[in-house]
Amino acid sequence: MNMRIVIAAASLAVLSSTAHAGCGINAGSVRIGGNDFPAIQAVSGAAKACDGGGVTVSVDLNKDHKDRQVAALTANPAEFTTSIINNSALVALMNDGLAQPLDDLIAKHGKDLQAMQKVTIDGKVMAVAFMANAQHLFYRKDILDKAGVGVPSTYEEVLAAAKAIKDKGLMDYPIAGTYSGWNLGLEFINMYHGHGGEFFKSGSAEPSVNNAKGVATLKMMKALTAYMNPDFLTYDSNAVQADWEAGNVALTNLWGSRAGAVTDGEGSTAEIESNTMFASAPTVAGQSIPATTLWWDGFAIAKNASGADAEATFITMMNGISPEMAAANVDAAPWLIKGAVPQPTDAGVLASAQGGAKPYPMLPYMGAMHSAASAEIVDFLQGKESAEQALADLEAAYIAAAKEKGFL
Amino acid sequence: MPHRTFISFIWPSALAMMLFIALPIISVAIQSLYIQHEQVIETVKNCGPFGCTESVVVNVEATEKIRAEQPLGRFNALGTYTNRNHLAFAEIAAAWKASANWSGFFAAITNLPFYKALFFTLSYTLVVTPLVILLGFFVALAVNRLPSIFKGPTIFFSLLPMIVTPLIGSLILFWMIDAKGIIGGSLQLLFDDPDLSLKASPTLTWITLFVYGVWHHAPFAFVVFYAGLQTVPKDILESAMIDGANRWQQIRHVVIPHLIPLGVFIALIQLMDNFRVFEPIVGFNASASATSLSWIIYNDLRTGDGTTLFGSAAATSMLTILGVAILLAPVLIRAWRANQRMA
Amino acid sequence: MARTVPTWLSILSLGFLVLWLLLAAFPFFWTLWGSFKVEADFFSKQNWTNAIFGVRTLAETGAHYTGAGYEGAWIKEEFWKASINTLVMTISVVAISLTLGTLGGYALSRSPFRYAFWILIIALVFRAMPHITLVSGYLFPFFELNLWGHLTTTIIVMVAINQPFTLWMLHSFFLNIPKDLDESALVDGCTRFQAFRYVIIPVMWPGVITTGLFSFLLAYNDFALTGLLLTEENQTMVPAIAGFLGSTQQQGNVMYAVAAVVSATAPLFVLVMFFQRQIVSGLTAGAVKG
């Protein structure tokens, strides 16, 4: 909660130091829509400083932004000239052709951008990324030491460590995981990636998860749940974080954006916080890449925005994601912005990325696969059906959805 | 009342319902009969902060061209209704052939998302509705006996479960019933079972949701019944007492018949609201053990990742309306007969 | 007349009532108490007694109680803006719903034709439509027509969605007002509107207030519509509270939400105490015909 004040103060500082109304834009209407969390508040706060002198900048942040953005950008003129999105939400815009290529605008106004920030699809820059995120390993150093095990780098070691902790009576449920709803689908995707699995037959939308790797993925997830609180199917990130801060858990695969929250001097004891460490997501089944998916947040510009508005929006957003903004809000996120200095809380995300973890697939039909996974593997984890049956159900649910969307 | 006058009174209300309910229902009904065009997919190189990959995208131009010819999509008749994620006719037929016995068949059916949700939705509706009516009735009887100075605060506190925003109400209850929470912890003591957790097993999750439903809706029944109790004709009660009827007989033969129309009203509203149960499933993170029809719709619509299933959600919505109509049919037929007798 | 009540029945009835009040009100009082603690206490995964004794609150703030949640919600996050929006919205929804509903409900109760009955049945079927489906249908037309985000739009939509319930309740209420009343006015040379204005309006208040209570609660507690149809500027309390809760990737300020909920309940207490007599007498008259 303190973080929010820091950010507010920091964005004020940015406002006062760089505030020259209009940011050199003469005219245009800039309408920013996005999710509502501190890093985006920092970006949109800095962008808002361009308001005035002929250009109007309005910001509308909403927790459910992803549910309204397609309708908002389909309208002509678009309700929002820019939508702040992540890699999964960009697919929704791409599927309907609602984002415009940014190459010309970057050539004119985007000299500060790093090459890695440009999200390029088929040779055209469709979005500009400004922060990264990923689920990675959180571990309790003191507990691992007491159990006499090292920092696990594979899921097999995670299981061994959990067993050691439990056998020593240090904790009843040493592992926690985000295993409810959408999160469960993502855990499956992460683990299946880790096993080197492919979700689709190459070049098509035909599912291909009902195979040995899929079964191994489910078996590993089930093995992990044996060391989790029996309520694991209701655990979202909030529950995992609360369990972590209460000191009930020694190992978890949680979002990098929560690393700051578990070490912020609130909600936990100094002992737990000082022993909370971050590392790359573990690998699994002898494969080399971490079993996680990498995410970015960035902005895209609406196709249904006029040329002048699009240009004004781009310049405004470049001010929003300026190096000064990143420097003033170092704690808010692992910024991808030039000159941003990695913080200790970013260690896990960086290590996972360096370890070769894959980005969350930007396939038009990935969302259908994700939803199907969230819903259909529950029965297996509850012990009601076999892994093969769960995977067959997953494929069947996906096929029905993909047919309706016209992918099959 | 002549037609003209009738229209001049009802048009604002009718117009509002036309625009914001009837039109959407019609468009949803049409939508449920269509599926999207085949998407033109192409493989491209996709680069981002984490390197480059071969990926596929929808070729929007080509897809738009097909879409321009037939904006609604491909006509699919009732195909969406019968597919695996809805009524699943093919899967049921296969399960019928494959299952050796009834329990196998039943298990195969409840493995299908629509029937799983329908099963919970119906159970919830049929368990919660009568319990709400009973609890509301007894609370109303008990409050009615209180001295009048206590009545005001009692009514307010009885209304609280209905007043507190379900969004937060269910969140707080969710933590209270946690194994480490006050209710969950007390239940562990009560049943002398340190491993008892209301969130862990599907059965207990169902019971928790039922209890929440009764708790949340009982105030509605209570208020309506309590008001009804104020109008129980005093003369009939008195003559019943003079005839020597005991307390129970008075309730049985005077109070209950008087309250029956109110009970029907509550039942009607409750059946409908409970059939659309949704918030507690999200609030209690219970979708692993319990899904409802409304939850399926939510799940189809709120994906935000480009695979929003409007057709599928539309089909489930129409099936929900149909389900409500079937549930209410007995009441509606009764009302229809009464109306005909009056006319 | 004096009625003798057996003691065992009094005790049973009182005991039952106390139990019910405990169940109904306890979560609220627990929340009220917890709103003065920090998140680690109120939502403790260690031990629920922390919420009572404020162990972490003491460690983090140096006192047993903290007003941080209230301060954060009302001052930092400007929750008062959302409460003004809610005030505007609920008053408008209740007023418009009741105006449309009394006119329509009155006509339905006085029409001898069969279509009046069918309108009621259709209204009931309308009510069965899940709100989530309706909302996603509204989004695109509202964006395209530039209607999205305004309080007015949301108010009208909410009135429309609430009409079936309003019509049903008021219709059954008007059925209880004897037809002779307004018909004698008609005989005296009044038009329908005059009869409605001078004869019906003076006797309809109890029913209207009850229906108003339920319209009020609907508008006050709605999330399905307000969550997606309003801009940040126009947000009402419930979506604002939802905004405090955070998301999968981000921690929220749950204690702001808790404090906001507690403070949002206080005006309702006043309201219910103020209107309790009308609520009860109104329900008496209305709805009886089901």
Residue B225 falls within a domain, yes or no?
A: yes
Q: Is C248 close to A237, i.e. CB distance below 8 A?
A: yes
Find chain C residues with C-beta within 8 A of B241's C-beta. 3
Average pLDDT score over residue span C115-130? 87
| C86 pLDDT more than 80 | yes
Does B90 share its domain with B150?
no
Find chain B residues with C-beta within 8 A of C10's C-beta. 145
Residue C220 falls within a domain, yes or no?
A: yes
Q: Is C45 close to A246, i.e. CB distance below 8 A?
A: yes
Listed by number, the residues of chain A in 206-245 with a beta carbon closer than 8 Å to a beta carbon of chain B are 229-231, 233-236, 239
H/E/C letters for each residue in A83-129?
Answer: EEEEHHHHHHHHHCCCECCCHHHHHHHCCCCCHHHEEEECCEEEEEE
Q: How confident is the model at residue B234 (pLDDT cuts 50, 70, 90)?
A: confident
Contact A142, A275 (CB under 8 A): yes
Residue C189 falls within a domain, yes or no?
A: yes
Q: Which range, of A271-280, A385-394, B328-337, C129-138, averages the lowest pLDDT? A: B328-337
Q: How far apart are the first and last CA of chain C?
A: 32
Find chain C residues with C-beta within 8 A of A133's C-beta. 249
Average pLDDT score over residue span A133-146? 96
Task: Give the pLDDT score at B171.
Answer: 82
Both tokens of C159, joined, read 């009135």
Q: Which of A1, A63, A267 sits opposite C242 (nearest CB)?
A: A63
| B305 pLDDT more than 90 | no
Average pLDDT score over residue span C116-132? 87
* CATH number for the domain harbouring residue B274: 1.10.3720.10
Find chain B residues with C-beta within 8 A of C123's C-beta. 17
| B266 pLDDT more than 80 | yes
What is the count of residue pairs from A and C with beta carbons less than 8 Å apart?
100
Residue C208 falls within a domain, yes or no?
A: yes
C172 close to B (CB below 8 A): yes
| B1 pLDDT more than 90 | no
Q: Which of B13, B145, B175 sits opposite C43 (nearest CB)?
A: B175
Q: Tell me: the pLDDT tens digits for C30-59?
A: 999 999 999 888 888 888 888 888 888 888
Q: Which of C124, C130, C258 sits opposite B317 (nearest CB)?
A: C130
Task: Give the pLDDT score at C248.
Answer: 80
Q: How far is the C-alpha of A82 from the C-alpha of A321, rounded, in Å?
A: 13
C-alpha closest to that of A234 among C181, B181, C56, C86: B181
Q: Is C23 close to B19, i.e. CB distance below 8 A?
A: no
Average pLDDT score over residue span B121-127? 96
| C289 pLDDT more than 60 | no
Task: Give the pLDDT score at A17.
Answer: 42
Q: Is B298 close to C101, i.e. CB distance below 8 A?
A: no
- Domains in chain A: boundaries: 2-132+295-346, 134-293+351-405
| B296 pLDDT more than 60 | yes
| A19 pLDDT more than 50 | no
Task: Give the pLDDT score at C281.
Answer: 63
Domain that holds residue B95: 78-111
Average pLDDT score over residue span C204-217? 82
Count of structural domains within chain B: 2
Listed by number, the residues of chain A in 33-72 with a beta carbon closer than 8 Å to a beta carbon of chain B are 64, 66-67, 69-70
H or E stretch covering A359: strand A358-359
Q: How confident is the model at residue A1 (pLDDT cuts 50, 70, 90)?
A: very low
Contact C226, C238 (CB under 8 A): yes
Does B105 share its domain with B202?
no
> Mean of the per-residue pLDDT values for chain B?
89
Domain that holds residue C97: 72-285
A21 close to C (CB below 8 A): no
Find chain A residues with C-beta within 8 A of B173's C-beta. none
Count of structural domains within chain C: 1
In sequence order, the 6+-apart residues with CB closer than 8 A to the CB of B256 are: none
Average pLDDT score over residue span C62-88? 91
Find chain C residues with C-beta within 8 A of A237's C-beta. 248-249, 251
What is the count of residue pairs from B and C with beta carbons less than 8 Å apart?
264
Q: How confident is the model at residue A16 (pLDDT cuts 50, 70, 90)?
A: very low
CATH number of A2-132+295-346: 3.40.190.10
C-alpha closest to that of A51 among A319, A399, A274, A346: A319
Q: The domain at A134-293+351-405 falls in which architecture? A: 3-Layer(aba) Sandwich (3.40)
Does B92 share its domain with B167?
no
Residue C225 falls within a domain, yes or no?
A: yes
| B339 pLDDT more than 80 | no
A18 close to B (CB below 8 A): no
Q: Which of A8, A37, A241 sits opposite C247 (nearest CB)?
A: A37
Q: How far is the C-alpha of A177 from the C-alpha of A223, rounded, in Å?
A: 12
| C286 pLDDT more than 80 | no
In angstroms, what CA-CA distances link B38 with A102, A290, A408, B35? 28, 35, 7, 9
| A14 pLDDT more than 70 | no
Task: Give the pLDDT score at C3.
Answer: 54
Domains A2-132+295-346 and A134-293+351-405 belong to one CATH topology: yes
Q: pLDDT over 70 for what percent of chain B?
A: 99
A237 close to C (CB below 8 A): yes
B178 close to C (CB below 8 A): yes
Q: Which range, of A23-32, A155-164, A187-196, C94-103, averages the lowest pLDDT? A: A23-32
A15 close to B (CB below 8 A): no
Q: How confident is the model at residue A402 (pLDDT cuts 50, 70, 90)?
A: very high
pTM above 0.95, yes or no: no
Residue C235 falls within a domain, yes or no?
A: yes
> Mean of the per-residue pLDDT values for chain A?
91
* CATH number for the domain harbouring residue C90: 1.10.3720.10
Q: How confident is the model at residue C272 (pLDDT cuts 50, 70, 90)?
A: confident
Q: Which of C16, C107, C161 sits opposite B138 (nearest CB)?
A: C16
Task: Give the pLDDT score at A5.
Answer: 47
Q: How confident is the model at residue C4 (pLDDT cuts 50, 70, 90)?
A: low
